[in-house]
Amino acid sequence: MKIIYFSFIYLGLVVFSNAQDNVRARDLGVPFDGKTGLYNAITDVAGIEVGHKTIIRGEGDLVVGEGPVRTGVTAILPRGRGAILSDQDNDYKYKPVFAGWYSLNGNGEMTGTTWVEESGFLGGAIAITNTHSVGIVHDALIEWEIENGIVNPLSGEPGVFWSLPVVAETWDGSLNDINGFHVTKEDAFEALNNAKPGPVAEGNVGGGTGMVTHQFKGGIGTSSRVLSEEQGGYTVGVLVQSNYGIRDTLTIAGVPVGKEITDLMPERGGPQNQPYGSIIVTVATDAPLLPHQLKRIARRVPMGIAKVGGYASNGSGDIFIAFSTANEGAFHRDKNTNVEMMSNDDMGPLFLATIQATEEAIINAMVAAETMVGRDYITIHELPHDRLREVLKKYNRLEE
């Protein structure tokens, strides 16, 4: 396999790029069911913004506290930065979204979920980083909210405010100096401030920078589905931070790719057939769903992961959150509100869309990811595009 690297230094950040840039699974002929939105991304749900901060620095032997560093932060803003604030009644009124969460296997962390479960609301941004940086990103989210006025003080008590942010993680210690604590408050701020609508960068970016999937390079991936007008015309968007799985179970479009591409395994260490790792999945929709219905959506995520070959091993943190951008005026501290609720009988297409978008988001993460050399020269190879096409063609699954 020929690997082409271009590197440059920008403000202390080493960035590597190769020929896989901007290629997605559909570009390679991977067949998927369902209709996507314009960007085939979580940002197809109107108002959502996504930002990344990628930290790639140093090379060679691991020196804890110095590097090499292969990590970052990804932020998802359910209503974007501007739409979070309202000047109604000349008071700051943030606009939480209804949300629900689910843990398939709990060997991981997603903060704030006890209040999501209790209240039914997600009050601010979602951030994803590495396992040992959850604390600093959690603190940074609170500070960022305060600095940007994204607070909802108790009526008559403007100095009273609390925040229980949702911060999730996967472990990037195979490639990153994870015990060097290289993620800073400023990095989290940058991910939040970089958030924008439109296309979403995938692969070796943000929180997904140092992640591994089915023993190929993994990371951030996204996809969306749009329901027919008869089904309501709603959009479902998914974003994953994918860092799980063994090669043998890797399945793409129903094809046993992991059994066909058995080389290009991690070199000089890295995950060697240990069934551990994690995946964080965020599902967004504009369908008018209440919290208990969003939990039902989150519970369908594992079916999409299973289609790619995940099985929630003991060492895996498989944690999912779903939210709805509908019912914008649902939250209020001082009065009752009216909300719209979708019929449970009509939710079937949303379940299917969630499964389809989750599957494609994982594969998009692998297709976008690039070969990475990390600490102690551990090398995790990218999923080779040409060989993937050959395998799909062998099984009559290549979509020209």
**Active site (catalytic) residues:** 278, 316, 318
Q: Alpha carbon 241 to chain centroid distance? A: 4
Q: Alpha carbon 309 to chain centroid distance? A: 18
Q: Long-range pairs for 258-261 at CB < 8 Å and ≥24 separation? A: 258/214, 258/309, 260/391, 260/394, 261/383, 261/384, 261/387, 261/388, 261/391
State the DSSP code for 42: G
Whether 128 contacts 74, CB under 8 Å: yes
Neighbour-count burial for 189-204, b at 16+ CB within 10 Å, e otherwise: bbbbebbebeebbbbb
State the DSSP code for 384: P
Q: Is 208 exposed, middle or buried (0-12, 13-18, 19+ CB in 10 A)?
A: buried
